[in-house]
Amino acid sequence: MNARHIEVKNTAASRADAEEIARRLVDERLAACVQISGPVTSRYHWKGCVETSEEWVCTAKTRRDLYRRVEEAIRELHPYETPEITATEIAAGSRAFLAWIDAETREPAGE
């Protein structure tokens, strides 16, 4: 099991919002890569109503120890009151790919 690497997913209301989040995460080396996909249709409960909206999905490849900083960066840029931000462990992966994630992300401050 490889608990060192994760994928962090979030949705954004527009492609421009998704690109801004991706740019920040990669430029600040909080993620080695962010894939943007969509649009997708989301249907959800919000404040007593059922809503439907078009969204874009960002999937960031990063390290578990950077999660807190990744979440903070997304929250700073995100227009939603309660943005989706979830992390999934990468249980296994090619050594070269996982080493690339390590090489392209930076150590958290203070470490």
Query: pLDDT digit string (tens) for 47-78?
Result: 999 999 999 999 999 999 999 999 999 999 99
Q: Is the pLDDT of residue 109 over 90?
A: no
Burial of 14 (0-12, 13-18, 19+ CB in 10 A): middle
Residue 33, CA distances (Å) to 6, 52, 87, 88, 100 in order? 12, 29, 15, 15, 10
pLDDT digits (tens, 9 = 90+) for 4-29: 999 999 999 999 999 999 999 999 99
Structural domains for the chain: 5-104 (3.30.70.120)
Residue 2, CA distances (Å) to 32, 75, 103 in order? 17, 27, 16
pTM of the model: 0.91
What band does 110 get if pLDDT is binned at 50, 70 and 90? low
Q: Is the pLDDT of residue 81 over 90?
A: yes
Instruction: Say what the pLDDT of residue 1 is.
Output: 43
